[in-house]
Structure 1
Amino acid sequence: MKLAVIIATLGRREQLTRLLEYLGGQTRLPDEVILSAPDAAHVEVPKSSPFPVSLVFGPMGSSAQRNTALGSSLGRFDVITFFDDDFVPSAEYLEQVETAFAENEGWAVVMGMVVRDGAKNAGLTWEDAEVALREAKSKTHRGPPVVDHVGAYGCNMSCRSSMVGDVRFDERLVLYGWQEDIDFTSRLRSRGRVVCVTSITGVHLGIKSGRTSGERFGYSQVANPIYLIRKGSVPASFALPLMFRNIAANLAKSLRPEPYVDRRGRLRGNMLAILHVAMGRIEPEYVLKI
């Protein structure tokens, strides 16, 4: 199999450089790493690398940047792995992904288990990630080895190219996107299984730079799930509980917000989106006007 890694990045040159160096330690090297950014100011290609690194430039936003890279890679690779620029995979990650697809012809999407997620707290360091990966390797996972999912977590997900076809990330989910990963991979469930293989591990650092504002993100927390339900790509049984949990968290924590989360901004965005939905306006791209 030929395997490419796509990394959509924005404003994290140092982090991206470190990730590229780290990927050189994979037991199965990628056949190519494709960096997708709005322009060259966001990337720095290492002078030497054990694998080819290519650059593609296009419109800004998680969905748009992934589509830009996807368009140039589908016909050339059997497996396409998407990493966030702040995801730290285990050393065996790509080798295990290749094995998973080779041994399971009916699988369309494979994601690994995130053993620690800095998106849920103040964020993690590389040192935190390395410790977490060592601990995960030394422990035996007690749950099922393979778990089916509605969609995959975009910080680490791999797709079988032959099953992607004309499916693309929805560019109406602008900027940070929010659920564009679930939407994309959920649409692939009609072509094959979408699974998490729990022996494939990694850590999401959850770096806060390069993310959208609190108010914009809060708007997306409501508008995007409603849009995807209406679109039919994500079941209401998944999207609505997610939406209500986020609104409840923003409401409960707005009196004493965490220093690393703009809870009040998110709550304002939630309320504006709820008002728009009540008026019949379901426009994920409205965040560009906030």
Structure 2
Amino acid sequence: MGLPSAPLRVAVIIASTGRPDCIATIVRHLRAQTLAPSRIILSVAADRDLPAPSAREGCEVVIAPRGLPAQRNAGLAVLAGDSDVVAFFDDDFVPSRFAVETLSSLFAQHPDIAGATGHVLADGIKTPGIPAGRAERLVEEHDCHGPPSMTYLRDVHGLYGCNMAYRTALLGGLRFDERLKLYGWQEDVDFASQVSRRGRTVETDAFAGVHLGTKSGRTSGVRLGYSQIQNPLYLLRKGTMRPGKAWKLMSRNLVMNHVRSLWPEPWVDRFGRVRGNWLGFADLLRGRLTPERIEEL
């Protein structure tokens, strides 16, 4: 009887700007994994984005141009294929302590899978945000049942960027689109669409966590509103977003921003988003698909 094969190596890349406390929290949870990540790469725009050295001990640091796609690409460049699987977690994501172990098992057991997105136990992105303490309690309650069964697999076109992972061997030549500047809205869909041409992209219960939806360090309302129009159209022309998805995203956000601007949420700049929406349309009428223009707004 042969010896059991070694688990697949899972590296983790975290891109972050202006949120050192978030980095410290997720690194602490990565250190508590039942299977240690083979590498933890922190991709930041400046040294001031990092927590104290003791809170990032054992992590690799890369300084990159500010923006989620550029920072993730810098992480991939440092990784240089030195892993079997690469996971991208948002800095405000609290992963299950089994996440790395079950990611390793998932990709080992399903060689046809090229990319996967996990189960989000709770998501604060459309709320004021989830406090870290509550997120940790939710993850602890989930983990008290032991590792997930990994029975749920559903083929999907796009993966959710807060917790997604890819088979490194299939990423040759692929990078996140750096024309999607700053927060890089829909960069996860664009990247997953490219990977899906090389293998299955799935949603699964194999790994889980809570997305805090922390509001600090995010793109301004005007910039996000502009991206809500320009980015789907740009990806539609590029061929990485389906027409139905693009029009649904634009129409839903356009209507929501206008309606909610009458009673805006305290944590959302609805007036800024409305202005950004119309700036996006104005550029479209001028024949411009320029998602990178948000850096000028």
Name the TM-score, length of structure 2 as normaliser: 0.92
Task: Deviation per CA, 1:67-111: give whole Å up to 9, x if none.
Answer: 011012132111111011000111111111111000011111011
User: Within 5 Å, which residues of 2 pair with 1:1-290?
Assistant: 1-44=8-51, 46-47=53-54, 52-136=58-142, 145-290=152-297
Q: Distance in 1 between matches of 2:260 and 2:141?
A: 31
Aligned-residue CA RMSD (Å): 2.0
Q: Distance in 2 between matches of 1:179 and 1:31?
A: 28
Secondary structure of the structure 2 residue equivalent to 1:258:
coil
Q: Distance in 1 between matches of 2:99 and 2:43?
A: 21
Task: Deviation per CA, 1:237-260: give whole Å up to 9, x if none.
Answer: 222212211111101100110000
Contact 2:28 2:55 in 1 (8 A): no
Contact 1:172 1:285 in 2 (8 A): yes
Runs ≥4 in structure 1, deviation > 6 angstroms?
none
Distance 1:135 1:22, change over 3 A: closer
Distance 1:265 1:48, change over 3 A: closer
Name stretches of at least 5 consecutive residues in structure 2 with no aligned partner. Answer: 1-7
Secondary structure of the structure 2 residue equivalent to 1:72:
helix
One-letter code of the match for 1:128?
A: R
Identical pairs, percent: 44
Alpha-carbon shift at residue 288 of structure 1 (Å): 1.1
Please, which moves more after superposition, 201-210 or 37-46?
Answer: 37-46
Q: Distance in 1 between matches of 2:214 and 2:248?
A: 25
Structure 1 counterpart of 2:4: none
Contact 1:110 1:197 in 2 (8 A): yes
Q: Distance in 1 between matches of 2:142 and 2:254?
A: 32
Name the TM-score, length of structure 1 as normaliser: 0.94
Contact 2:97 2:143 in 1 (8 A): no
Secondary structure of the structure 1 residue equivalent to 2:79:
coil
Contact 1:124 1:207 in 2 (8 A): yes
Name stretches of at least 5 consecutive residues in structure 1 with no aligned partner. Answer: none
Q: Distance in 2 between matches of 1:183 and 1:105?
A: 22
Contact 1:26 1:94 in 2 (8 A): yes
